[in-house]
Structure 1
Amino acid sequence: MHCEVRPGRDTSGAPGAVSGFLDGLGRAVEHVKHGTVFLDTADSYGCGHSERMIGRFVRERQDVPLYLSSKVGRVRGSAPHPFADRHIHHQFEQSLENLYAEQLDLYTLESFDFGPADRYLGNAIDAMRTLRELESIKAIGMRGPYADYGSSPAEWEAQAERFLYLFRLIKPDVVWTRFNAFTPAVLLDGEDLFSFTARHGVGLVLAAPLAHGVLTGAGGRTGRSPSHLHRTASQGLARSTPLLTKRIAEGLQRLRNTFDSAPGTLTRLALRSCLQRGDNCVVVMGFSNGEQVEENYTCLGPALTEHELAVVDEIYEHLRDGLQVDATRRVAEGAHI
């Protein structure tokens, strides 16, 4: 298992941002000298800019073994739908050109939206299987269940049902999903996502392990206060109340007290809690400069023991409970408006 990296969605074209991003890629390669670096992006990240920056790196470092992963399903262009007709093939060819590649190791359907009554689902499945049969891609990916972190249990259950329906039709090789301390324990046929995918022989790509920086706390790599992170983090955390903010701060302090307060400790615990979920998992990390990549790799240290993982899971469960209380309260308040 390795901690992998992926370029952030907000990579700008400014010279400083570009050099910092390329420096980050270079440092990732140095940390995985005897292995393969997994680079995960999408045609929708920065309107293709992320892909082009990776392509620039690929051209300059053709001696480095790289796994390239991209996604399709957010960019519609002039097509009636992102999955309509030959639009997937068009976007795929553009991604290959951007990435300076002849083949992708993983190509993922980034959305559950296949048009009214799933009009374009059959076309999307056929297009992806054709790409795999032609060996243009090695593996077909699809999104895991996803909703706002603060969504209600009913909304997550609906997402799980939608995922199962699509999973049985698409038959993916890999599931790409957001996963961290705030992700609810969604059941799929009575199993969690890790047991479910392992039983089906499907790989897992876990994204957003730090919950957009919230799990690193005030001493995290961003150097920003928890309140700022809660205001700027997306998918439900932005709506956190002072009570939830306090609960998160208390939970992170418990982790510091239990382990230590050294820089990178909270990052290490968040990454390890993902990396050690199963042998079929890789973790992807967004970054904008080499320093962030350096911290992600150097903070990992030895694997957590079963007891240490149990302690981390217990504290993270407390954070999830607080988020669900917030979500339930918002639903109740909305019902009385």
Structure 2
Amino acid sequence: MAGHALALRPLCRRLAVHPLGVHCAAVGDHPGPHDQPLRDGLWRAAECGATFLDTSDSYGLGHSERIIGQFLRDWPGHRLQVSSKVGLVRGSAPHPYADRRIHQQLEQTIDNLYIEPPLALYTLASLDFGPADRYLGSAIDQMRILRRNGDITAIGMRGPHTALGAPLEEWRRQAARFVHLFHLIQPDVVWTHYHGLTPAVALTDEGDDLFTFTRRHGTGLVLAAPLAHGILAGKPLHRPTAQHGLGARDAGPIAAGIRELRHHFGHAPGTLSRLALRVCLQKSDHAAVIFGFRNEAQVEENYTCLGEPLTPEELALAEDVYARVRVGLQDVGTPPAHEAAV
């Protein structure tokens, strides 16, 4: 089954998207001659059926949004929906959520994207609302006004997240903070990093994980980094990076898991990517999965490698291997690293 054969999924009452979308964090990393491979990747994604492009005001300080805007102008009659974020770029304001900062940044985002409102999804990218959550009430009010006025279709908020190498206690602290804010913000969609190496942390006393919790509340999910920044596609791990918080000493558990997956599923190109993407896609029918890319070839592989859905036995096997890798990473005890930027 090719990517374009997947049916649209409702993320919330107001928003339905192709379940495999594009995360445009790399679109804008290096403005200049590096832009063309990224534009080619966007074209290929649209040709493969993508309807959901995810960006942020912080990706290249607006350059990602402007590249997407140029692309949308060149794609007449497109059915593409764009998601962006706010909360990491302060500008001259005392805080990214201070005063009318959210309204002002949305206006700039709409201009960058060269679209008419509404923006499909606007996400609070940071759970930092200032000392004692000083700007939380204002941020909630601004987001609800934007939705009510038709400037955005859906309100998003960042999910619980920390470095993969962080202790489970830190994950639990992040989860508790998320649940507290979730009930106040009442988002339509939760945007979060998620893949096979993400620790399974209960959000409630009843043991609800993120998928059960959001389904219970009628909230959609956007799952970013399904390939764990290339690790689950077989990319060697040599040194720590801010993206995943893992280092060279974590390579052993990861390599063992990759070997086992190849033993069971084969060595054909795209096999590991297919497993990682399929595990996320089949985790829940109220979630969209977005992958990052740097060139057209990566987009091509991710949309064409999917094949048929994993059988229940295949899914269970892949998830069991990922779970054992997670245990191995905890045993290694990587020191906490800085959280990845949105």
TM-score (norm 2): 0.89
Conserved 8 A contact 1:8-1:288: no
2:29 paired residue number? 11
How high is the sequence identity, in percent, across the aligned residues?
A: 56
Question: Residue 164 in 1 paired to residue 179 in 2?
Answer: yes
| Secondary structure of the structure 2 residue equivalent to 1:198 | helix
C-alpha RMSD of the superposition: 1.4
| Secondary structure of the structure 2 residue equivalent to 1:107 | strand
Q: CA deviation at 1:330?
A: 4.5
Conserved 8 A contact 2:228-2:244: no
Aligned equivalents of 1:199, 1:232: Cα separation in 2: 35
Aligned equivalents of 2:53, 2:171: Cα separation in 1: 29
233, 237, 261: which one aligns with 1:255? 261
Aligned equivalents of 1:145, 1:322: Cα separation in 2: 22
1:276 paired residue number? 282
2:29 aligned partner, one-letter code? T
1:208 paired residue number? 225
Q: Equivalences for 1:187-198 in 2 at 5 Å?
A: 187-189=202-204, 190-198=207-215
Which string of whole-angstrom CA distances, capped at 9 and with x for unpartnered residues, describes residues 278-308 of structure 1? 1101111111211110001011111001110
1:139 paired residue number? 154
78, 91, 99: which one aligns with 1:77? 91
Aligned equivalents of 1:287, 1:112: Cα separation in 2: 26
Q: CA deviation at 1:14?
A: 2.3
1:148 paired residue number? 163
Aligned equivalents of 2:150, 2:201: Cα separation in 1: 33
Aligned equivalents of 2:219, 2:248: Cα separation in 1: 34
Distance 1:59 1:330, change over 3 A: closer
Aligned equivalents of 1:86, 1:156: Cα separation in 2: 32
Conserved 8 A contact 2:166-2:335: no
Aligned equivalents of 1:240, 1:167: Cα separation in 2: 35
1:90 paired residue number? 104
| Secondary structure of the structure 1 residue equivalent to 2:292 | coil
Which string of whole-angstrom CA distances, capped at 9 and with x for unpartnered residues, describes residues 96-134 of structure 1? 000111220000000010000000000000000000000
Question: Residue 48 in 1 paired to residue 62 in 2?
Answer: yes
1:86 aligned partner, one-letter code? R
Conserved 8 A contact 2:226-2:289: yes
Aligned equivalents of 2:282, 2:180: Cα separation in 1: 28
Question: Residue 321 in 1 paired to residue 333 in 2?
Answer: no
Conserved 8 A contact 1:11-1:18: no
1:245 paired residue number? 251
Conserved 8 A contact 2:54-2:290: yes
1:335 paired residue number? none
1:305 paired residue number? 311
TM-score (norm 1): 0.90
Which string of whole-angstrom CA distances, capped at 9 and with x for unpartnered residues, describes residues 78-98 of structure 1? 000000000111111000000
Distance 1:245 1:24, change over 3 A: same
Aligned equivalents of 1:264, 1:84: Cα separation in 2: 45
2:123 paired residue number? 108
Q: Equivalences for 1:18-33 in 2 at 5 Å?
A: 18-32=35-49
1:318 aligned partner, one-letter code? R
Aligned equivalents of 2:335, 2:55: Cα separation in 1: 34
218, 231, 237: which one aligns with 1:227? 237
| Secondary structure of the structure 1 residue equivalent to 2:119 | coil
| Secondary structure of the structure 2 residue equivalent to 1:285 | strand
Aligned equivalents of 2:328, 2:111: Cα separation in 1: 45
Question: Residue 286 in 1 paired to residue 288 in 2?
Answer: no
What are structure 1's unaligned runs of at least 5 residues?
219-225, 332-337
Distance 1:283 1:152, change over 3 A: same
1:294 aligned partner, one-letter code? E
157, 175, 180: which one aligns with 2:190? 175
Aligned equivalents of 1:71, 1:39: Cα separation in 2: 12
Q: CA deviation at 1:8?
A: 2.7
Distance 1:296 1:246, change over 3 A: same
Structure 1 consecutive aligned stretches of length 4 or more whose deviation exceeds 3 Å: 230-233
1:59 paired residue number? 73
Which string of whole-angstrom CA distances, capped at 9 and with x for unpartnered residues, describes residues 187-230 of structure 1? 11120111111111110000011111111115xxxxxxx133x5
Give the paired residue count: 315
